[in-house]
């Protein structure tokens, strides 16, 4: 076991296969990313405080650029802790970076934006290309500070549902339509509902402001059911200056 030392802040960037986990957050009786990470770190840091994350992911959602941090009184090398993590979930969690951060760093509160990618399976046809173009135009209407209440699910009462949407694009990519979103933060299932609603309205050849109208109506029953989680990936947590589109 490593000896205690002055409190230090550790920062890790990792990728994981969300199909192997019941989401990020620790849940009794379920295998989650947080639970696996804390079990691995507990081998060297039994008195470690719980880890904090840049962006929580739901069941089945993947990550290629997730960030988590924690503080601990230890001189354990970050690379050693990364080895413990990968040994706990071989092939399911990969640590891209492991290191120390300034004492004030907090994976959640220091983040200025998050980026997600959704690859919606779609045969590459003229119709799918047109579908992507219409969906893209509709999403542009939501860029900026928008109330996404209609596109969220299971949000706490009396909490703001306004988020700053920095980027929202749709384009054909191989046998899929690729959606890219960057925002100051995302509500529960927001990206998946946006994708499903954009495709539904694009297929119906609705007006360009169709998604904006749904946002203004704030009626969740009028938006589409969330798209499947298995095609969604948290690609990056941003720190420092806010990204520009």
| Catalytically active residues, by annotation | 58
* Residue of 143, 204, 147 lying closest to 169 (CA atoms): 143
**∠ CA(80), CA(94), CA(38), 5° rounding?**
60
DSSP 67: E
Strand partners of residue 169: 180
Q: Give alpha helix (H) positions in 6-125.
A: 33-41, 78-88
Determine the Cα–Cα distance for residues 131 and 198; give it in Å rounded to an integer: 9
- 3-class SS of residue 61: coil
* Residue of 116, 88, 78 lying closest to 31 (CA atoms): 88
């Amino acid at each position: 076991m490593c000896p205690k030392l002055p409190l230090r802040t550790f920062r890790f960037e990792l990728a994981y296969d969300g199909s192997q986990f019941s989401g990020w957050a620790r849940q009794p009786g379920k295998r989650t990313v947080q639970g696996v990470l804390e079990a691995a770190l507990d081998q060297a840091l039994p008195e470690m405080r719980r880890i904090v994350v840049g962006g929580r992911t739901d069941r089945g959602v993947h990550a290629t650029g997730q960030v988590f941090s924690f503080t601990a009184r230890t001189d354990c090398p970050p690379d050693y802790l990364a080895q413990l993590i990968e040994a706990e979930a071989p092939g399911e969690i990969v640590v891209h970076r492991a290191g120390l951060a300034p004492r004030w760093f907090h994976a959640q509160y220091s983040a200025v934006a998050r980026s997600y990618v959704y690859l919606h399976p779609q045969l590459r046809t003229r119709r799918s290309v047109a579908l992507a173009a219409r969906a893209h135009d509709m999403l542009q209407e939501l860029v900026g500070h928008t109330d996404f209440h209609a596109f969220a699910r299971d949000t706490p009462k009396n909490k703001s549902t306004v988020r700053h949407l920095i980027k929202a694009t749709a384009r054909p990519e191989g046998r899929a339509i690729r959606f890219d979103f960057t925002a100051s933060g995302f509500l529960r299932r927001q990206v998946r509902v946006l994708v499903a609603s954009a495709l539904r309205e694009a297929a119906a050849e609705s007006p360009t402001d169709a998604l904006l109208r749904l946002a203004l109506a704030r009626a969740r029953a009028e938006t589409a059911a969330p798209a499947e989680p298995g095609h969604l990936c948290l690609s990056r947590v941003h720190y420092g200056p806010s990204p520009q589109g």
